[in-house]
Structure 1
Amino acid sequence: MGKTGVNMGLRAYGLAWKAVLPLLRFNGRLKDGWEQRTLDGGLPAPAHLWIQAASGGEAYLAWEILKHLRPPASASLRVLVTTNTLQGHQTLARAADEINGRKSGLAVQPWYFPFDDPGLMRRMVDRVRPELAVILETEIWPGFLSACKTGGVPVLLANGRMTTKSLAGYMSWPALFRELAPERIMAVSETDARRFGTLFGRDRVEVMPNIKFDRMGDAGPMTRASNPLKDIVAAEDDFVIFGSVRREELDAVTRLAAGLLSARPGTVLGLFPRHMHHLDLWRAAIDGAGLNWVLRSRLTGTAKPGTVILWDTFGELVPAYGLAKAAFVGGSLAPLGGQNFLEPLTSGVTPVTGPHWKNFSWMGREIIDSGLAVEAADWREALESLKKILEETPPREKVTAAAGQYIRDRRGGAEAVAKQVADFLNND
C-alpha cells in the first residue's frame, strides 16, 4: 500500500467515525466530557506539550512525568494532558491541582481526548499547536497520529507496552502504521521493544525503566501492633492468604486449599475473591470440599486453626498480607494475566503465583529468577511451594528489604521520559 492507499484508508476511517459518532452519544461511559470529546464545547488553550494517558493507570504515569518536567529557566511550559475516561480525568485534575501554582513555570490543563475522527483531531492539533506529543503505553490512534504528522508535531511513545495480540492487529495494516510512526518509542522491555520494532522499525525504539516502579513507595511491613486485623489470627498460627482469586480458577484453587489444610491442618486460610459477587460460588466450592469456613463479616474473635475465612469485606487484603506467613496470588492458575504480587512482597511475604501472570510481566522475569516470588506450573506445584515457605518462613524484614531494593533498582522511568521531552523541546 503506497501513500495514496494510506490516504484512502484514512478517509474511510474518518467516514466510519462519522457514522458511529451519533450512536456513541448513548454510551453512558462517554457522557462525561462529551463536549470536549466532540469539541462542541470549545477547545483547550495552546500548549507546548500534549500528553495522552488513556485511563486511570496511565494518568498516574503522566502525573509522575509532570513531577519530573523541568521548564526552561526563562519561560513557562504549558502542558495539555488528555484522557479517555472519567477516572483518568479525575486523576489528571488532581495532578494539575498539585502542580499549578506550586511548581514554578509549569502550567497543566486536563482535558478529555477527542474522538479519533481525523477531522476532529486536525482541529485539535491546529488549536493546541504542540511542539511535542507524548503518548503512554499503547495509545496508537490513526486519526491522532495523522493529525500530528500533518501538523509537523513529533510524537514520543513512552512506557510502551505491546502484546502479541495487539501486534497482530496492527500488522493487518502495516503500511498505515509505518507511515504514521512516532519519531521515538521508549519500550519497557526488550520483548516490547522487538514488537514495536516489527511494527514501526527498530531504529526508532529504545528500552526504558517502567514508570510504574517510580510510583511505588518505600513503606515497610506493618507492625502487628498497628495492624487492624491483629485480633483475627493468633500470632502463633500459620496464616496463609489466597489473594484476588478468580472464578475461572475455582476448581484449582479449591484443590489447593483442600491440599494445604490436609497437609497442615492447623493453618488459617484467608480466601479473598477478586470479585465479591462470586462469593456464593466460593462458598459452595469450599463446602463441597468439606472444609470449615466462616465469613469475615461474621467472624468474632480469633479464627480457629483449620478454618477458611471467606473474605466478604473490602479494603483488607494488604493488612491481611501483613499478618500472613505465605500467600498465593490468584488470577494465575487460569490464563487471566495474574494479579499484583508486589503487594505481598512489600508486606514481607514471599508470593506464589501460577504460570499466567503476563499482566505483570513488566516487573521483569528476574523477580522469579531471584527467588523474590515463586512461579508454580499448576495447583500441585503451588501447594508444594506454600508448604515449603511455611516450613522455612523467611524473616519479614528480609523479604521487604529485598523487594524494596528490587523496586529502587528499576526506578528512573519518569526522569528518562522527562529528559527525552526536554531534548525534543530544546531541539525544536
Structure 2
Amino acid sequence: MTKCAFIPNIFRFYNILWDAALPFLKQHPRLAPTFDRRINPVHLQPADIWIQAASAGEAYLAVSIIKALNPDRPVTMLLTTTTDQGMKILTQELLPEEFSHHIRLCFDIFPFDSPKAMNNAVQRVNPAVMVLLETELWPAHLYALKRNHTSVLIINGRLSRKSGRNYRLTKAFWQSFAPERILAISAKDAQRFSQVFPHTCIGTMDNIKFDRMTVQKTPGKVSALAAIVPRELPLSVFASFRRQEEPQILDMVKTLLEEVPNQVIALFPRHMHRIAPFLKKLNKTGLNVYQGSQISSVLTGPAIILWDRFGDLHQAYSHADVVFVGGSLAPLGGQNFMEPAALGIPTITGPHWQDFAWVGKEIFRTGAVTRCNNWQHAVKTMCSHLVNSGSRKTRIDAVSRYISQKQGGAQTAADAILTSWEAKQPGAVAGRKKSRRSSGDTLPLTY
C-alpha cells in the first residue's frame, strides 16, 4: 500500500464527519432497526472470504457466484448487504443443497464506513479475500482491508463516465488502497478503472447478469392488463418512461394512434408518483385515458390505459405486441430492454442506453431489439411492428443464442476468487493474520 502522510489526517476528519452524522442516521426509519449492528459490529464472525452485496441487484450476483464456487477444501464465507431486501434475497436464494458442501455461509449487515467501526469489522472478520461487487468503494473499508493485507477483488465491475471522472479527481487518495484485481464487465469500464487504479491488474468478464437470464417461449399467466384487453386488438406498451421524457411520450402516443387507431396503449411510468401529474398532461391533450385500477371488465374497443398498480409490468410484457422501453429518450441511462426482448416481444429503445451498455450493441443485430435515434424513429418502428409483427419464435431463438454466448461470468468470478484465496493458503489458518502482515508495513491508525 502506498504510504501517504496525509491519509491518517483525512481519516481523522472522515471519522469526525461520521460522528456528526450518526445521531441523524439513528433516527432514519430504515436504519434504526440495525443501527447498533452497523456502528458496533462485534457480532461479525471470522471468515476466509467476505463478499459485500450492497443491495438487491448485487445480492443476486452473489448468489450466482456462490453456486458456481466449488472449493476443494472447507471455506467460511461471510456475505453482507446494506439493505433488508438484499438480506432477504441472500438468505432465501442460497439453499445449502444448491452449493458445495465445503462452503459454510454466514450472513450479516454491512457496517457503516465509519473508520472506527470498519477497522473493528475487518479485524474481527480477518478475511483472506474481500470481494466487492460492481462499484462498492468505501474508503475506510478499503483502508482497513489494506492494513490487514487482505486481497481485494472487484467483480462484475462497472464504472460510469460520471463516476469515473469523480474518482479521477481524487486519484491519489484512492491509489493508496487500490484493489489487487478488477474484473470489469466491458472494455470501457476496464479503461475507466485503469485511470483510477493504474497499477491494479484489470481485465474483463461477461456480466453475471447474463447467467440469470432465461427466455420464455410460452406466455406466462394472464396479467391483470391482459385480462382487460380485447383479444382482437394489438397491445402497445410504453414501459418505465421518466418525467423528462413525458412530452415525447405524449407525442408518440398521439402519432401511434393516428397511424394505428385500432389498438390498446398501456402506459407504465417508471415512478408511481408521476401517475397523477402525467394523467393531467394526457387529459389536456384531449386523449381519453383510463386508469388501470378503475377498469373492472374487458374493454369494448381501443383505449389508452395509464397503469397505476405497482409490479405488473413484467407480466404485461408477455402479452404485448410491441414495447417501447423508456429512460432512453433523454440522457437518463436507459432501462432494462432485455426483459421484453427475452419474451420475444419486438422491443424498442431510444438513443440513451448507457446503463445497459454491458448487454453489448450486438443485441441490435439480432432483430429482437431496435435502437432508435429519436421519438419519431421509435414510433415509426412501433407502427411497423404493429402492421407486421414477424415471428416471435425467431426473436426468442435469436435472444436465446445471444444470451448463451454471454453466459459464464459467475464461473469466471468464482475461479478468480478461489485463485486469490488459494494464494493465501500457505501457513496455518491460526497464523493467517500474522502471515498477511509484516512489521513496519502497517500505516498508523489514529482518530
Structure 1 residues without counterparts, runs of 5 or longer? none
Match of 1:419 in 2: 415
Match of 1:17 in 2: 18
Question: By how many angstroms is 1:203 displaced?
Answer: 5.2
Specify the SS of the correspondent of 2:368.
coil
Match of 1:77 in 2: 75
Specify the SS of the correspondent of 1:192.
helix
Q: Does 1:162 align with 2:159?
A: yes
Question: By how many angstroms is 1:113 displaced?
Answer: 1.1
Conservation of the 8 A alpha-carbon contact between 1:330 and 1:353: yes
Q: Which amino acid aligns with 1:50?
A: W
Q: Does 1:90 align with 2:88?
A: yes
Distance 2:374 2:215 in 1: 32
Distance 2:239 2:106 in 1: 38
Distance 1:136 1:183 in 2: 14
Question: By how many angstroms is 1:100 displaced?
Answer: 7.6
| Structure 2 residue corresponding to 1:402, chosen from 389, 398, 405 | 398
Q: Does 1:316 align with 2:312?
A: yes
Match of 1:43 in 2: 43
Question: By how many angstroms is 1:6 displaced?
Answer: 2.8
After superposition, the Cα gap between the structure-2 partners of 1:101 and 1:244, relative to the gap in structure 1 and judged at 3 Å, is closer
**CA deviation string 1:325-382 (max 9, x = no partner):** 1111122222222222112112211211112222222211222244331122221111
Moved more, 414-423 or 400-409: 400-409
Specify the SS of the correspondent of 1:406.
helix
Distance 1:202 1:155 in 2: 14
Question: By how many angstroms is 1:90 displaced?
Answer: 2.0
Q: Which amino acid aligns with 1:194?
A: Q
Conservation of the 8 A alpha-carbon contact between 1:145 and 1:180: yes
| Structure 2 residue corresponding to 1:145, chosen from 142, 145, 169 | 142
Q: Does 1:236 align with 2:232?
A: yes
Conservation of the 8 A alpha-carbon contact between 1:125 and 1:148: yes
Distance 1:102 1:146 in 2: 32
Conservation of the 8 A alpha-carbon contact between 2:344 and 2:368: no
Equivalent pairs counted in the alignment come to 423
Conservation of the 8 A alpha-carbon contact between 1:221 and 1:396: no
Distance 1:296 1:396 in 2: 27
Match of 2:191 in 1: 194
Distance 2:204 2:391 in 1: 35
Match of 2:444 in 1: none
Question: By how many angstroms is 1:227 displaced?
Answer: 6.0
Match of 2:56 in 1: 56
Question: By how many angstroms is 1:383 displaced?
Answer: 1.2
Q: Does 1:361 align with 2:362?
A: no
Match of 1:67 in 2: 67
Distance 1:318 1:346 in 2: 11
After superposition, the Cα gap between the structure-2 partners of 1:114 and 1:304, relative to the gap in structure 1 and judged at 3 Å, is same
Distance 1:95 1:77 in 2: 19
Conservation of the 8 A alpha-carbon contact between 1:137 and 1:158: yes
Report the identity percentage. Answer: 37
After superposition, the Cα gap between the structure-2 partners of 1:122 and 1:313, relative to the gap in structure 1 and judged at 3 Å, is closer
Conservation of the 8 A alpha-carbon contact between 1:32 and 1:86: no
1:25-424 paired onto structure 2 within 5 Å: 25-39=26-40, 42-72=42-72, 75-96=73-94, 98-99=95-96, 103-201=100-198, 204-222=201-219, 229-424=225-420
Distance 2:109 2:312 in 1: 33
After superposition, the Cα gap between the structure-2 partners of 1:271 and 1:419, relative to the gap in structure 1 and judged at 3 Å, is same
Moved more, 308-317 or 183-192: 308-317
Q: Which amino acid aligns with 1:114?
A: P
Distance 1:349 1:188 in 2: 26
Moved more, 154-163 or 11-20: 11-20
The normalised TM-score by structure 2 is 0.89
Question: By how many angstroms is 1:304 displaced?
Answer: 4.2
After superposition, the Cα gap between the structure-2 partners of 1:268 and 1:137, relative to the gap in structure 1 and judged at 3 Å, is same
Distance 1:370 1:400 in 2: 10
Specify the SS of the correspondent of 1:65.
helix
Distance 1:100 1:395 in 2: 40
**CA deviation string 1:123-170 (max 9, x = no partner):** 212211111010011111111111111111110110101012112222
Distance 2:278 2:198 in 1: 48
Distance 1:122 1:282 in 2: 49
Specify the SS of the correspondent of 2:46.
coil
Structure 2 residues without counterparts, runs of 5 or longer? 425-447
Q: Which has the higher contact order (CA 8 A, sep 6+)?
A: 2
Question: By how many angstroms is 1:103 displaced?
Answer: 4.1
Specify the SS of the correspondent of 1:308.
strand
Question: By how many angstroms is 1:66 displaced?
Answer: 1.0
Question: By how many angstroms is 1:400 displaced?
Answer: 1.5
Question: By how many angstroms is 1:412 displaced?
Answer: 0.9
Q: Which amino acid aligns with 1:165?
A: K
Distance 2:277 2:170 in 1: 43
The normalised TM-score by structure 1 is 0.92
